[in-house]
Amino acid sequence: MSFVLRTRALRARHLAVKPLRSGVTQVRGLQTDADKSSPAESLPESGSATFKVNLPGDSFHSYRCDVPDPEIEISKDGLVDMYHKMVQMRRMEQAADALYKQKLIRGFCHLAIGQEAISVGMEKAMTPDDRVITAYRCHTFAVMRGGTIKGVLAELMGRQAGMSHGKGGSMHIFTPSFFGGNGIVGAQVPVGTGIAFAQKYLNKPSVTFALYGDGASNQGQVFESYNMAKLWNLPVVFSCENNKYGMGTSAERAAMNTSFFTRGDQIPGLQVNGMDILAVLRAAQWAKEWTVSGKGPLVMEFVTYRYGGHSMSDPGTTYRTREEIQQVRSKSDAIAGLRRYILEWGVTDEDSLKAIDKSAKEEVDHAVEEAKQSPHPDLKDFWTDIYVSGRPNLSFSV
């Protein structure tokens, strides 16, 4: 048999045994349930005292490196704080959904409902000196990195109270430690690489998390960034939020290699259960330690899921079934998983969590009303924020 014919035969055999679509709640054996961690010891009385928690051993898969120790330390206060923030972020995104349907938000709007564990869990592992850059599904990261719910919602509505004064919209929101919100698919990855270069140049013991989706993972600029980062051993964590679909195309239909954490060639990689916030937190801690210690870049893949469509213009049900979405909601919802931890471990009671839920709703409702009261930018505002005022500051710090 010729080489060509043999290759075709092997390829046909491979395609015959490999399904086009992988399972929803299990990806290559990775644990993606949200509530399978357990305390390794009795919980302390004090809310601020830490205790150890064991994560399932299959919370991580690694490439060219060892997996993190599946034990994490957390406090009862820390668990409640993360729960509060995740509920806030979901309420904020749900409010954005409603405002869009009321035509108070126009244009592009990409929501992260279902993926809240990633932004909240990562933030718990970071300091203000660390940097984050992402694509257009950015609202929760903007709040976690120092923004406000009002500032995000006002920006989405194009109001002066917005974080970019109503001139940037959904995809262009920034803080001193958050570099967007970027609308071009994959373009934030080389920018994040440059931010990490500046951190290394300035000898800062900090890290840049450059996030992108599985849909952007085939971009050439992503691989160029990998190459430069490894050449210079930059403190950057290339973080792929794999929510299984790039717009309306499943990852398996778009990518030859869907093990995105292995795509860095010489760069080590880590695949993470993105639905368990404790796994996200542990992975982010480990990734920061890796890069700041001088070991160079890392490729990290968070396996997660979005409940809504790619954007508000996508119903999200033409390329997947409602049953698939409901299956993830019922088995792997990040907020429900953390809620279960809190209640089963005796961190606090049901009434306290209901009070948090109510408080988060009120906070977001108040932010919506305040954002609505803010005026649209004046015509003169369109000539501002174009250049940095005064002489160039060549010592600008990242």
* Pairwise CA distance, residues 237 & 77, whole Å: 28
* Pairwise CA distance, residues 178 & 390, whole Å: 23
Average of per-residue pLDDT across 48-53: 98
- Dihedral pair phi/psi, residue 164, rounded to 5°: -115, 30
Q: Is the Cβ–Cβ distance between 123 and 170 less than 8 Å?
A: no
**Quick one: what percent of the chain has pLDDT higher than 70?**
91
Q: Could you tell me the pLDDT band of residue 1, with boundaries at 50, 70 and 90?
A: very low
For residue 28, the model assigns a pLDDT of 53
Q: Is the pLDDT of residue 389 over 90?
A: no
Q: What is the dihedral of CA 252, 183, 306, 277, to 10 degrees?
A: 110
Q: Could you tell me the pLDDT band of residue 2, with boundaries at 50, 70 and 90?
A: very low
In this structure, of 15-19, 93-97, 183-187, 202-206, the range with the lowest mean pLDDT score is 15-19
For residue 393, the model assigns a pLDDT of 55
Look at residues 176, 171, 161 and name the one whose alpha carbon lies nearest to residue 137: 171
Q: Could you tell me the pLDDT band of residue 26, with boundaries at 50, 70 and 90?
A: very low
For residue 240, the model assigns a pLDDT of 98
**β-bridge pairing 236-242 and 298-303:** parallel
For residue 391, the model assigns a pLDDT of 60
Decide if domain 30-77+104-146+176-346 falls under CATH 3.40.50.970: yes
For residue 22, the model assigns a pLDDT of 37
Average of per-residue pLDDT across 239-262: 97
Strand locations in the chain (E): 26-27, 30-31, 38-39, 50-54, 60-63, 71-75, 131-133, 208-213, 236-242, 245-246, 249-250, 269-273, 298-303
> pTM for this one?
0.91
Strand locations in 179-220 (E): 208-213
Q: Is the pLDDT of residue 13 over 80?
A: no
For residue 269, the model assigns a pLDDT of 98
Q: Is the pLDDT of residue 49 over 90?
A: yes
Q: Is the pLDDT of residue 307 over 60?
A: yes
Average of per-residue pLDDT across 303-321: 97
The count of residues in the chain is 398
Q: Fill in the DSSP letter of residue 95.
A: H
Strand locations in 1-156 (E): 26-27, 30-31, 38-39, 50-54, 60-63, 71-75, 131-133
Q: Is the pLDDT of residue 79 over 60?
A: yes
Helix (H, G, I), strand (E, B) or coil at 272: strand
SS3 content of the chain, % helix, strand, coil (to 5): 45, 15, 45
Q: Is the Cβ–Cβ distance between 375 and 159 less than 8 Å?
A: yes
* Pairwise CA distance, residues 349 & 333, whole Å: 20
Q: Is the pLDDT of residue 265 over 60?
A: yes
Q: Any idea where the domains of the chain sit in the sequence?
A: 30-77+104-146+176-346
Look at residues 126, 2, 18, 34 and name the one whose alpha carbon lies nearest to residue 344: 34
Q: Could you tell me the pLDDT band of residue 392, with boundaries at 50, 70 and 90?
A: low
For residue 388, the model assigns a pLDDT of 78
Residue type present at position 48? S
Average of per-residue pLDDT across 113-142: 98
For residue 50, the model assigns a pLDDT of 98
Residue type present at position 317? T
**Quick one: what percent of the chain has pLDDT higher than 90?**
88
For residue 386, the model assigns a pLDDT of 86
For residue 70, the model assigns a pLDDT of 97
Average of per-residue pLDDT across 375-385: 92
Supply the mean pLDDT for the chain.
Answer: 92
* Pairwise CA distance, residues 65 & 268, whole Å: 6
Q: 83 vs 387, which has greater pLDDT?
A: 83
Query: Using alpha carbons only, what angle is made at residue 145 by residues 141 and 150, rounded to the nearest 5 degrees?
Result: 75
Q: Is the pLDDT of residue 82 over 80?
A: yes
